[in-house]
Each structure stands twice: as C-alpha cells, then as structure tokens.
Amino acid sequence: MYSINEALNLSIEDVYSLYREYSNQQLPSIYKKFSFGHELISEADGSWLFTSDGKKKYDLTGGLGVANFGHNNPRILDARKKYVDSKRPEIHKSYFNPILAAASYNLSEILKSNLKYSFFCNSGAEAVDGALKITYKRYSGNRKIVLHSNRSFHGKTIGAGSISAGDNFVGGKGRFYFQKIPGVISYDFNNLENLVSIIDSCGGDNVYAIFVEPFSCSTLTESSMHFLNGARSICNKHGISLVFDEIYSGFGKCGYDFYFHKYGVEPDVICLSKALGGGKASISSYVASAKIFEDAYGSIAGALTHSTTYNSFGEECATALEACNILVQENVSNNALALEKLFNEIFVEWVKDANNPVISFKGAGSHFGLILKNPISLLQPIASNLPIDFTSDPLFTDKLYTTSLTSALWEDADCLCAFTSNNEVILNISPSPISSYQDVYKVLKKVELVLKSSPLKIISRVLKNSMSKL
C-alpha cells in the first residue's frame, strides 16, 4: 500500500503504469501523444502551474471552469483549514450542519432571485439529475416529457446524459450511445419558434421541465433575451419548470455572477457546480424556488425523498460558503469583463492577420474560443473511410490539428489549453476570471507565435510521437 508521501513522489512512469493497471487502461497511451502528457504538475498557484521538473505553465483552461478563483486560493484554503482545525464531523445526515445552513443562505443571496432552496451534492451531473427529479416530482410523475436543446451538454450520468446532445468528444464509429430516460425531446438551440412548435405538438400540460443553458460554454454561444423571455412565458402559461444549467457559466466565468443576470430572466431551478467548490471541493447544487420546492418536497414525506450521504459534508459546505463570499467581495465578474475586452481587442487583429489561422472567435467574460482554418481538412474524406474507428469521426482532422496545437502551446508557449467539439472544434482560451490582465496579455503574445508557426510541423510532432509509442 502506498503512503501519501510515496504517492506524491511517484514518477511519471509509475503513474502511467498505475493508470493502466488500476484506473484507465488507454488514457496513458492517449496523453503520451502530447507534450503535456509527459509531465506531472507538482504545484498550482492562482493561474500558474508548476511541473515536477521546475517548469512554469500558465493555465488557459481556468481549471475547466473549476478554478474561477484561481488554484489554491488563500481564502479557500483558510476556510477549509478552519473547518479541519475545528474537528467538526464531516457527515451530518442524521443531525444538523450549521455550515450547510449558512452556505444555503449565501447561495440564495448571491443568486439575487426567487431561487431559495439548495441541495448540495458532488458533481454537475448529479445536480442535473436532482433537478430532473424535483421537477418530475412536482406533478407527482403525471407529466412525462422533458425538453433540452440540440447542442446541450449537462453531464454524463444516465439522467444528465439523456438530456445532452453535445457530448461529441468521441465521434464516428467509435462513439457509444447509452440508454436514455423516457420522455426526452430536443429543441433547436435558441430557437423560440421551434420550442413553441414542440410544446404545441406534445402539449404543454405533458411537459414537466425545459432545460436551458443561458450561455452554452461548450459552443460559446448565448441564449438570446428573446428566447429566454419566450421560454419563461411558455413555462408560466403551462406550469412548466424552467431549469437553467449554469454549472460552467456561473460564478463570474462569463462576465456576470450568473449569466441569467444579464437579461434578468429567472429560472425555477438552477444547476451549479465547478467553481462552487472554489477549486478544492467536489461539490454541486441545484437551487429551487420556494414554489417548486414546496410542490415537490414540501410535505413530511417529501423532506426525505431526495438525499445522499454526502449532502452535508462539512468541509465541502465550508468551501462553498467562502466561494460565495469571494465572488461578491472580490468583484470576480468585473475582472472577467476586463479580460473579455482584452480578448475582443486581440482576437479581432488575429482574424485580420492572413498569417494567423484564426478565422473567427466567440465567447463571454473569461471564456473564449478560437475557430481555426484547418490546413489538413482535405484529408477528412480519406480519414473517414479508413477502417479505424476514431478516424471515422467527421471532425477527426479538425481535432487532430487543434490537439496538436494544444501540445505545441504547452511546449512552446508554456501554457495549458483545451478544446471543445460540440458542433465544431474550438480551441478554448479560458483563463480563470481572476487572472491578471498583464499576465494574460503576455501569454497571448506567445500563443500568437505558436499559432502562426508551420501547422504541418506542429501536427508532425504529435504524429511522430504517436508512432514512437506504437
């Protein structure tokens, strides 16, 4: 058995071996194709990552929406330490937890809406599953239909996955389709007329919830004021629960404390996670209005209907409590808007530059993405017809070029980037919203140099590395 000290000092080769044998058989083979898969991160501070061999890298993923307050934020660490030092219990299912009570209050306060009753769980997908349950229970199971957009991504559990259309990380013959919960219908994203048509055809009195992403972080597009107001009116007319997923877009990521504040259209339930845990805790929540909660769980029996052992974990709730305070007291959203201004100024010049492969960009706050001209797009028909599952993906060559760029950016620009592939392949530039304007500006200058370097050399480095691992 390993001790914690031994685990902290494992070599990269040890980690490869243990992953293959006990965690994920193929993940080491995938990551080793890229430069960032050959190093271990030994420390993280703010927006900076430090490798075990002393290299310093800038995190342009923002911890994939988790580290909105930076890695190892001192206030988050202090809140967790205070809870640990108090020697209070973690598990509170059979007795009251004052930290959960205070965290629930804080969350309702920062939402600035009718959203009031919180249920804390562990992941975004679990929060979505909870939202599905409370909205279904609201009408005692008599309504059978739930609607989601045709580009949504809500998570990878069976419930959340059933209302997700945009999980395209693996496409083509390699993609597996899991079973779905019954009664799921998709509408065209941000298309009010299509939503109205679907409601008319299936009957509004048969629909228990409409799930909406006010800002789709996987496609970097927003739901318009027109659509949100229309969806709200439909829900009011038919008594349908309007559920917003702000798991990624919330907590200042996209320029607002929560993106629904931009247009002032309030949901009946909201799903939250990622930055709720301050970059240190695995915690999520759905928050419901008093009306929804009372209808679904307002009885004595209802109070015990939805629960989990981890709902009241003390240190996690202490972290969420402090995350709410940081969001408001440190003006996180304002800093995200300053970064948005910087991105717009720089990226518009990249699009104008004939030597830069960026053909367009989009985003909000500190979450932006670049759409690139693919230098090997002509090879896609050949790749699609090869007898190999992963090359049959219609986005294969786009993904190959973009992932090759992420490898080059790690190696040559000292930064970590990620991509999304919901509808199209996008290279994300998405630092934590608390990131320094000056630091981001300097990193983007280095990114620009990599983007303008030879694309064939960038791709060949990854292909050569892949062949060497065969």
Q: Is residue 4 part of a domain?
A: no
In this prediction the pTM is 0.95
Residue 48 zone, left/alpha/beta (φ > 0; ψ -120 to 50; rest): beta
Q: Is residue 442 part of a domain?
A: yes
CA atoms of 108 and 105, how far apart (whole Å):
5
Note every long-range contact of 39-45, with CB atoms under 8 Å and residues 24 or more positions apart, other chains counting. 39/12, 40/10, 40/12, 40/15, 44/71, 44/72, 45/70, 45/71, 45/72
Instruction: Provide the number of structural domains found in the chain.
Output: 2
Q: The tokens of 363 are what?
A: 């985003």
- Final residue before a domain boundary, out of 279, 313, 329: 329
CA atoms of 187 and 207, how far apart (whole Å):
13
In this structure, the answer to whether residues 323 and 338 fall within a common structural domain is no
Report residue 294 CA to chain centroid gap.
Answer: 30
Virtual torsion, Cα 184, 185, 187, 192, nearest 10 deg: -90
Q: Is residue 245 part of a domain?
A: yes
| The residue to which tokens 């404390």 are assigned | 257
In this structure, the answer to whether residues 262 and 161 fall within a common structural domain is yes
Q: Which residues contact 21 (CB under 8 A, 6 or more apart)?
A: none
- Final residue before a domain boundary, out of 290, 305, 329: 329
Q: Is residue 1 part of a domain?
A: no
In this structure, the answer to whether residues 305 and 194 fall within a common structural domain is yes
In the chain, the largest separation of any two C-alpha atoms, in whole Å, equals: 66
In this structure, the answer to whether residues 267 and 391 fall within a common structural domain is no
CA atoms of 297 and 302, how far apart (whole Å):
4
**By C-alpha distance, which of 468, 470, 266, 448 is closest to 343?**
448
In this structure, the answer to whether residues 39 and 181 fall within a common structural domain is no
In this structure, the answer to whether residues 212 and 284 fall within a common structural domain is yes
Q: Please give the pLDDT value at position 395.
A: 80
Q: Please give the pLDDT value at position 470.
A: 41
The DSSP bridge pattern shows strands 284-289 and 115-121 to be antiparallel
Q: The tokens of 256 are what?
A: 């607002």
| The residue to which tokens 């994920």 are assigned | 24
In this structure, the answer to whether residues 214 and 240 fall within a common structural domain is yes
End-to-end alpha carbon distance in the chain: 31
**pLDDT tens digits, 358-380:** 999 999 999 999 999 998 876 67
In this structure, the answer to whether residues 296 and 336 fall within a common structural domain is no
In this structure, the answer to whether residues 250 and 362 fall within a common structural domain is no
In this structure, the answer to whether residues 106 and 251 fall within a common structural domain is yes
Q: Is residue 286 part of a domain?
A: yes
Q: Please give the pLDDT value at position 382.
A: 61
- Final residue before a domain boundary, out of 295, 329, 363: 329
Q: Which residues contact 53 (CB under 8 A, 6 or more apart)?
A: 39
Q: Please give the pLDDT value at position 220.
A: 96
Q: Is residue 304 part of a domain?
A: yes
- Structural domain containing residue 171: 74-329
What's the CATH code of the domain at 449?
3.90.1150.10
Q: Please give the pLDDT value at position 393.
A: 74
Q: Is residue 2 part of a domain?
A: no
Q: Which residues of the chain have pLDDT under 50?
A: 469-470
**pLDDT tens digits, 7-52:** 999 999 999 999 999 999 999 988 988 899 999 999 999 999 999 9
What's the CATH code of the domain at 324?
3.40.640.10
In this structure, the answer to whether residues 54 and 78 fall within a common structural domain is no
Q: Is residue 49 part of a domain?
A: yes
- Taking residue 106's Cβ as centre, other Cβ atoms within 10 Å add up to 19
CA atoms of 455 and 374, how far apart (whole Å):
9
In this structure, the answer to whether residues 323 and 418 fall within a common structural domain is no
Residue 223 DSSP code: P
